[in-house]
Amino acid sequence: MAVLATSVRANDERFGENRDGLLALLAEHDAQLDLVRQGGGERYLARHRDRGRLTARERIELLVDQDSAFLELSPLAAWGTEFHVGASLVTGIGVVEGVECVVTASDRLIGEEGEGLRIVFDGLNPERIMSASLCNGVGRYVLGVAAAYATERRVWDGVPIGAHQGIAHPLAIAKIELELARLMTQRAAWLHDHAEDRTAAGEAANMAKYAAAEAAAHCLDAAIQTLGGNGMASEYGVADLWGVVRLLRIAPVSREMVLNFVATKSLGLPKSY
């Protein structure tokens, strides 16, 4: 049998430290996996029992064919978050009525009872930041298409249309609005991750969403105008983006409700609704 050579020195101090570190990490994994097997731990089990409900894990056990295996996927998925592993969502592959299925079961109660609105609002700010990011991405894309087109396309005098300020300035204005919106989006994302003051995070998320939706609409409009008739042609893929960009001035929160928020929360004006 071939003997594999190794340069590891098992008596080395650093080797010992690394080994201890890894063993500690494995012990932590084992403890979390125990928690998973208990459906999130005693406190979570008690919560289910008090509500007269089965845990997600127990419901899966009832669903999959008796004596068949259930391969759980990502049991430690929530580890490191405020949610306990094994408590709210179980996903895996099991056999149901002889058919191999991906099975998921979730606890309908997210977090603590009575704290639902806080959790909903914690989800609304990232939704606004993501909407802003989507708008920023569309804005960057269409300005890129428009700038390339305006550099190539020549109409009357042999010079590219981008050399005319009537074409260049709307694109430049849209670019400035877009970059400002991107800065606000980054600020909102940072505040969402780090700010203790949740109103500040909410204010920034609203402002970013407003600014980005407006900027994207202006970028797209300027791009379509730059492409002329081609702006409406599906081959150029610009006008196709109008629906989503226009939607993002309305959803997930309308520009008017953002303005209402800023008027009351940022400026202290009386509430209008």
Interacting residues with ligand FAD (CB under 6 A): 247, 250-254, 256-257, 260, 272-273
The distance of closest approach from Cβ of residue 243 to ligand FAD in the complex, given in angstroms and rounded to an integer, is 9
Q: Distance between CA atoms of 219 and 241, rounded to whole angstroms? A: 11
Closest CB to ligand FAD among residues 138, 222: 138
The distance of closest approach from Cβ of residue 210 to ligand FAD in the complex, given in angstroms and rounded to an integer, is 12
The distance of closest approach from Cβ of residue 253 to ligand FAD in the complex, given in angstroms and rounded to an integer, is 6
Q: Distance between CA atoms of 6 and 3, rounded to whole angstroms? A: 9
- Go through the chain and tell me how many residues it has: 273
- With contact defined as beta carbons under 8 Å apart, do 183 and 129 qualify? no
CB within 8 Å of 84: residues ≥ 6 apart: 35, 40, 41, 44, 78
Closest CB to ligand FAD among residues 74, 254: 254
**DSSP letters for 127-183:** HHHHHHHHHHHHHHHHHHHHHHHHHH-B-SSSSBGGGSHHHHHHHHHHHHHHHHHHH
Note the Cα 19 to chain centre separation in Å: 36
The distance of closest approach from Cβ of residue 50 to ligand FAD in the complex, given in angstroms and rounded to an integer, is 30
Closest CB to ligand FAD among residues 156, 273: 273
Closest CB to ligand FAD among residues 52, 243: 243
Closest CB to ligand FAD among residues 207, 253: 253
The distance of closest approach from Cβ of residue 169 to ligand FAD in the complex, given in angstroms and rounded to an integer, is 29
Closest CB to ligand FAD among residues 78, 245: 245
The distance of closest approach from Cβ of residue 240 to ligand FAD in the complex, given in angstroms and rounded to an integer, is 16
Coil, strand or helix: which one is 199?
Answer: helix
Beta bridge partners of 106: 89
